[in-house]
Amino acid sequence: MDLPVMPPVKPMLAKSVAKIPPGMHYEAKWDGFRAIVFRDGDEVEIGSRSGKPLTRYFPELVTALRDRLPPRCVTDGEIVVARGGRLDFDALLERIHPADSRVRLLAETTPAGFVAFDLLALGDASLMDTPLRERREALTAALRTAADPVFTAPATYDIALAERWFQQYEGAGLDGVIAKDPALGYRPGERVMAKIKHERTADCVVAGYRLHKSGPVVGSLLLGLHDDRGRLQHVGVCASFPMRRREELMTELEPLRMPSLDGHPWADWVSEEAHADSRMPGAPSRWTGTKDLSWVPLRPERVVEVAYDHMQGDRFRHTAQFRRWRPDREPRECTYAQLEEPVRYDLAEVLGG
C-alpha cells in the first residue's frame, strides 16, 4: 500500500456542546465503530479509532469497499449494523470475535455497512489541509455511484434541517448531530468538532459498585430498573466522579454493603450461564481484556437520578452521569415505564437523504 495518507491515522474528534451552533456544516451522529478506510487497488485496510485494524472482522465490507470506493483513497466514516430499520449497536459488538469461523458466519447473518463522511486522500493527492467544504464536494463526487452497503452521510448547512434531524433521526438509532467548521482542514486526534446529543434523566436503583483502578474508592455505580415482572435488571453504570467524591461515596455506601451475594437480586451472576450476553458486570469482555470487572453488591435500597442520552435495547447505550440522590423515591418505583421512547424513524429514510 502506497497512499499520500498512510495508516494509522487518528480520526478527528468532537467535544460535547449543549446546543447546535449556527453557521456550521451539519451531519447526523452515527452510532457505530468509527473507521478510517485505506484503499490502494486491491488492498483495503480498515483502521479503528485507536489505530488498530478492524479489517479481519468485516470481510464482507472489505469486498464492498473494494468494489465501491475509488481505486486509491482514504475515507473517514462509521461502520454500522442495521436491524429492523434502525441501527443496532449490540449486533455490531458481536462482530468483534476472535474465531474466524464465527466472523464469517456473522458477516452473512448481520452484514455491516459503511457510512462515509470525510475524504482524506484521493488518487495521489492528500486532502488533509483542504477545507471541509471542498473535501465534502470531493467525497460526494467520488462516491456518486456507490451503493448499499457503502453510503455517503447526509449533510447540510441548514441549521433548521439539522435541528429536525436531531429530533427525527434518534428514532432510527442515531446518536445526535455533529457540527463541523466548513473552513477547517482535517485535524487527526483533535477535538475540533462539536457533538450535540440527547440527554434525559431516569431514577435508578443503585445495586452495587465497582472499584476505581487507582485504589479502594468507587469507580462506578451499578444501576438497575425493574421490568414489568418486578425483576431488577442491570441497565448500566454511572461514573466520572472527582476523586474526592469517589472517596466520599465509599463512606456513604458502606451501610448498604452486603457481605456476599446471598439475597441480592443479581445473585445468579456468579453462574457462567448468566453471562451469556456479556453485558453484566463481571462478564468477560473482548474489549477490556484483563481489566478487573468484579463488583461489590449493595442492598438495593437507594435511588439515584442519572442523565443518559439514549437506550440500546434495555440498557443505557453510554455511561450515565450522576445528577443527585433521590431519597424521596422508593426503589420499587424505578421501572422502565419512566423512560422516554423516541418516535420510530426508518434508517432507509436517513441514508436516502
User: Average pLDDT in the 262-279 region?
Assistant: 68
Q: Does residue 27 have a pLDDT over 50?
A: yes
Model confidence at 337, in pLDDT bands (50, 70, 90)? confident
CB 126 within 8 A of CB 4: yes
Q: Does residue 181 have a pLDDT over 70?
A: yes
Q: Does residue 190 have a pLDDT over 90?
A: yes
What pLDDT is recorded for position 346? Answer: 85
CA distance 36 to 193: 17
Output 311 or 134, whichever has higher pLDDT: 134
User: Average pLDDT in the 284-292 region?
Assistant: 47
8 upstream amide cis, omega within 30 of 0: yes
Query: Pairing between strand 200-211 and 296-308?
Result: antiparallel
Q: What is the pLDDT of residues 218-263, one digit of tens each?
A: 999 999 999 999 999 999 999 989 999 999 999 999 999 999 999 9
State the cell numbers at 11. Answer: 480520526
What pLDDT is recorded for position 292? Answer: 53
Model confidence at 78, in pLDDT bands (50, 70, 90)? very high
Output 342 or 112, whichever has higher pLDDT: 112
What pLDDT is recorded for position 285? Answer: 46
DSSP-based three-state secondary structure for 86 = strand
CB 197 within 8 A of CB 15: no
149 upstream amide cis, omega within 30 of 0: yes
CA distance 269 to 260: 12
Spans of all domains in the chain = 13-198, 200-338
Which range has the top average pLDDT, 119-128, 188-197, 321-330?
119-128
Mean pLDDT over all residues of the chain? 90
200-338 and 13-198 share a CATH fold: no
Q: Does residue 276 have a pLDDT over 70?
A: no
Quickly name the fold that domain 13-198 has.
D-amino Acid Aminotransferase; Chain A, domain 1 (3.30.470)
Q: 60: how many CB neighbours lie within 10 A of its CB? A: 17
Q: Does residue 216 have a pLDDT over 80?
A: yes
Chosen CATH of 200-338 out of 2.40.50.140, 1.20.1630.10, 2.170.120.30, 3.10.150.10: 2.40.50.140
What pLDDT is recorded for position 344? Answer: 79
CA distance 8 to 36: 9
Model confidence at 282, in pLDDT bands (50, 70, 90)? very low
Q: Does residue 284 have a pLDDT over 50?
A: no
Q: What is the pLDDT of residues 143-180, one digit of tens each?
A: 999 999 999 999 999 999 999 999 899 888 888 999 99
What pLDDT is recorded for position 280? Answer: 53
State the cell numbers at 155. Answer: 449533510
What pLDDT is recorded for position 327? Answer: 84
- Quick one: DSSP state of residue 145? T
Percent of the chain predicted with pLDDT > 70: 93
Model confidence at 270, in pLDDT bands (50, 70, 90)? low
197 is catalytic: no
Q: What is the pLDDT of residues 82-105, one digit of tens each?
A: 988 889 988 998 999 999 999 999
Q: Does residue 70 have a pLDDT over 90?
A: yes
Q: Does residue 51 have a pLDDT over 90?
A: no
CB 139 within 8 A of CB 119: yes
pTM of this prediction?
0.75
Which residue among 10, 15, 19, 29 is the active-site one?
A: 29
